[in-house]
Amino acid sequence: MLILVLVVVGALAFDFTNGFHDTANAVATSIATGALKPRVAVLMSAVLNFVGAFISISVAATIAKGIVNPTVLAGSGGLVLVLAALIGAILWNLITWYLTIPSSSSHALIGGIIGATIVAAGSGAVNVHKLVQSVIVPAVLSPFICGAVALLGTLAAYRMIRMLRAGEAVKGYRLGQIGSASLVALAHGTNDAQKTMGVISLALIAHGDISTTHFYVPFWVKIGCALAIALGTATGGWRIINTMGNRLTSVEAPQGFAAESSSAAVILASSYYGYPLSTTQVVSGGVTGAGLGKRLASVHWDVVGQMVTAWIFTIPSAAVLGAAAWEISDLFSSSAAGSVVIALIAAAGAAVLYKLAQRSKITPDELDRTVAPEASAARLRHLTGERMSIVK
Amino acid sequence: MIAIAAALVNWNELWKIIVTALVGGTGVVIVVGLLLVGISRGKTATKPTTRYGLYALSGLCGILVVAVAAIGIYAMTQKPSSTKPKPKAAAATLAPASATERGFGTT
């Protein structure tokens, strides 16, 4: 029972980190162009993530479906494995958050599961072909697809702007940004909150609390996951919002609208056709494409390079962390004792990363572009110049 | 190389996604642009017929944008991956904790 409780708490903690890590996906460009005040933007995103969690009532009931042998997730050994995987994913999410780099929470979870599975059951339990087909290939393709669509959208937007007065264009596209950002936030809630619901449901099945013949997701799981992702989103994730909105490229309202519309279109199309894509990678590709659509030189390729490096390392790093967590738990003869120890180590690691992040804290007021343009420009210089030294 | 790519990439689904994203992503940007142009030009148009025509264009574009958003929300509810597990398959692969104690692959 204790291990099950730890898995549920771990899953909700992962959902929380997923929320604040991915807030930027929906709202970064809206904040960067002054379409919304930072606090209003994250609050809107939090509400839509919460609602999104309930839009599709059916849940993807398997995590890393087809990538790892499902038998390794069964029983109390499976519960410890899932806990180790969650710990690996949470720690990698926090490390990339500290480094201000947008990276995929889903890939972190898959990496954690793969790492824990390899040390627990051997590399034969991982289907490498399926991993490449359903995770690696989409990860490589998705930023390019969204980037190309956003580039074309930006070119089209600036063509249309020639027929408009400057004020009208900015006002109109800012309104459009709010709509497209809302759609991305809703899609994020639908996709990501339900992954955690799937993790908890699997844990409940493995523990014998849910019958496999009468599968359902308990209401407390739905509401818990929806609340965790919404609370995480409401916390802000200002560090990654700054990277996505200011450091990748200088975003104007038409670019922001093109980036968010393209991202929403790619995410929803891939979701509908059952092709798994990372929201973070899609939106990052979209923002970069929108930057290219206006001026090639306005994309900060050093930041893009840091981000791509983090993407490459996400699955291996989360796998190493997940594997380490499982190995530590395996040192103890009792599964419960091992689980408690790795949970405590993870909590300590999270506290250290949080403390370190406070040294270079980014506040919502610093990101606010709805204030006077002079003050906004000064803050932008401050954030894109001085803050970049954090990760350099 | 082509054979490896063909085995790893589901081109059939990928092309559908690319076309849908192009139509949806770029199309919405153009339609919103037309909406804004219609409102902007409508305000300054001197002839009533031109003004109403431009406002009608804007209205049509507004309806299109709302329709695309509605289709997007509909798509969210129709995820093919979000299906319930088949009871027999789930039962075959998942066992309660009492059945195993760190017994990977033994259920």
Encoded tokens for B94: 């998942």
A236 pLDDT more than 80: no
The distance from CA A131 to its chain's CA centroid, rounded to whole angstroms, is: 19
A380 pLDDT more than 90: no
Residue A97 burial (CB count, 10 A): 20
A376 pLDDT more than 70: no
Angle, alpha carbons A286-A189-A39 (nearest 5°): 75
pLDDT of residue A6: 92
DSSP state of B85: P
Encoded tokens for A107: 């890939």
Lookup result for tokens 């993407």: A311
Answer whether A61 sits within 8 Å of B85, measured CB to CB.
Answer: yes
Taking alpha carbons only, the member of A241, A200, A178 closest to residue A19 is A241
A71 pLDDT more than 80: no
Band of the pLDDT at B4, cuts 50, 70, 90?
A: low
Band of the pLDDT at A40, cuts 50, 70, 90?
A: very high
Taking alpha carbons only, the member of A52, A66, A62 closest to residue A215 is A62
| Beta bridge pairs of residue A299 | A249
pLDDT tens for B30-49 read 999 999 989 988 888 888 88
Band of the pLDDT at B107, cuts 50, 70, 90?
A: very low
Distance, in angstroms, between A389 CA and closest chain B CA? 34
CA A332 → CA A181, A326, A327, A339, A344, distances in Å?
47, 11, 9, 9, 14
Taking alpha carbons only, the member of A189, A209, A154 closest to residue A46 is A189
Answer whether B96 sits within 8 Å of A335, measured CB to CB.
Answer: no
Encoded tokens for A82: 């899932």
Q: How far apart are CA A346 and CA A343, in angstroms?
A: 5
Q: Tell me whether A265 touches chain B (CB under 8 Å).
A: yes
| Stretch A331-339: mean pLDDT | 84
Closest-approach residue (CA) in chain A for B33: A160
Answer whether A271 sits within 8 Å of B35, measured CB to CB.
Answer: no
Greater confidence, B99 or A238? A238
| Stretch A236-257: mean pLDDT | 85
pLDDT tens for A287-329 read 889 888 876 557 888 888 888 888 899 999 999 999 999 999 9
| Stretch A330-339: mean pLDDT | 85
| Stretch A350-371: mean pLDDT | 83
For residue B21, the chain A residues in CB contact (below 8 A) are 145-146, 149, 262, 265-266, 269
B102 pLDDT more than 50: no
The answer for A 326-365 residues in CB contact with B (under 8 A) is: 335
| Stretch A78-96: mean pLDDT | 91
User: Do residues A224 and A199 touch, judged by C-beta distance below 8 A?
Assistant: no
Answer whether A145 sits within 8 Å of B18, measured CB to CB.
Answer: yes
pLDDT of residue A334: 82
CA B67 → CA A141, A388, B30, B72, distances in Å?
28, 41, 15, 9
Provide the residue ranges of all domains of chain B, joining segments of one domain with +: 32-75
Residue B78 burial (CB count, 10 A): 11
| Phi, psi (rounded to 5 degrees) for A61 | -85, 5
pLDDT tens for A115-158 read 998 998 888 888 888 888 878 888 888 889 999 999 999 998 88
Angle, alpha carbons A128-A133-A136 (nearest 5°): 85
Angle, alpha carbons A137-A141-A146 (nearest 5°): 150
User: Do residues B68 and B28 touch, judged by C-beta distance below 8 A?
Assistant: yes
Answer whether A206 sits within 8 Å of B94, measured CB to CB.
Answer: yes
Closest-approach residue (CA) in chain A for B9: A133
The ipTM, to two decimals, is 0.79
DSSP state of A102: -
Answer whether B93 sits within 8 Å of A208, measured CB to CB.
Answer: no
A173 pLDDT more than 80: yes
| Beta bridge pairs of residue A68 | A126
Answer whether B40 sits within 8 Å of A163, measured CB to CB.
Answer: yes
Cβ neighbours of residue A367 closer than 8 Å, sequence gap 6 or more: A31, A32, A38, A238, A241, A242, A245, A246, A379, A383
Dmax over CA atoms of chain B, in Å, equals 82
Helical (H) or strand (E) element with A359: none
Encoded tokens for A286: 């979209």
Q: Tell me whether A130 touches chain B (CB under 8 Å).
A: no
B87 pLDDT more than 80: no
Closest-approach residue (CA) in chain B for A152: B26
pLDDT of residue A63: 57
Closest-approach residue (CA) in chain B for A190: B76
pLDDT tens for A160-171 read 888 887 778 888
% of chain A with per-residue pLDDT over 70: 90
| Stretch A342-369: mean pLDDT | 87
B105 pLDDT more than 50: no
Handedness of CA A116, A118, A119, A124 (dihedral sign): positive
Greater confidence, B91 or B29? B29
| Stretch A381-392: mean pLDDT | 42
Encoded tokens for A118: 């390899």
Q: Tell me whether A59 touches chain B (CB under 8 Å).
A: yes
Q: Which of A271, A277, A332, A333 to mutate to test the interface with B (most CBs of B within 10 A)?
A: A271
Q: How far apart are CA A184 and CA A24, in angstroms?
A: 10
pLDDT tens for A9-34 read 999 999 999 998 888 888 888 888 88
Report the range of poorest mean pLDDT among A1-10, A129-138, A180-189, A376-385.
A376-385
User: Do residues A26 and A45 touch, judged by C-beta distance below 8 A?
Assistant: yes
| Stretch B63-85: mean pLDDT | 77
Encoded tokens for A371: 């204030």
Distance, in angstroms, between B97 CA and closest chain A CA? 4
User: Do residues B65 and B28 touch, judged by C-beta distance below 8 A?
Assistant: yes
3-class secondary structure per residue, A278-291: CHHHHHHHHHHHHH
Answer whether B78 sits within 8 Å of A125, measured CB to CB.
Answer: no
Q: For residue B47, count CB atoms less than 10 angstroms from its CB and return exposed for 0-12, middle for 13-18, buried for 19 or more.
A: exposed
Taking alpha carbons only, the member of A269, A112, A74, A63 closest to residue B85 is A63
A41 pLDDT more than 60: yes
A237 pLDDT more than 80: yes
Rounded to two decimals, what is the model's pTM?
0.83
Distance, in angstroms, between B21 CA and closest chain A CA? 5
The answer for A 269-308 residues in CB contact with B (under 8 A) is: 269-276
| Phi, psi (rounded to 5 degrees) for A236 | 115, -60
Closest-approach residue (CA) in chain B for A187: B76
| Minimal Cβ distance to A168: which of B36, B83, B85 | B36
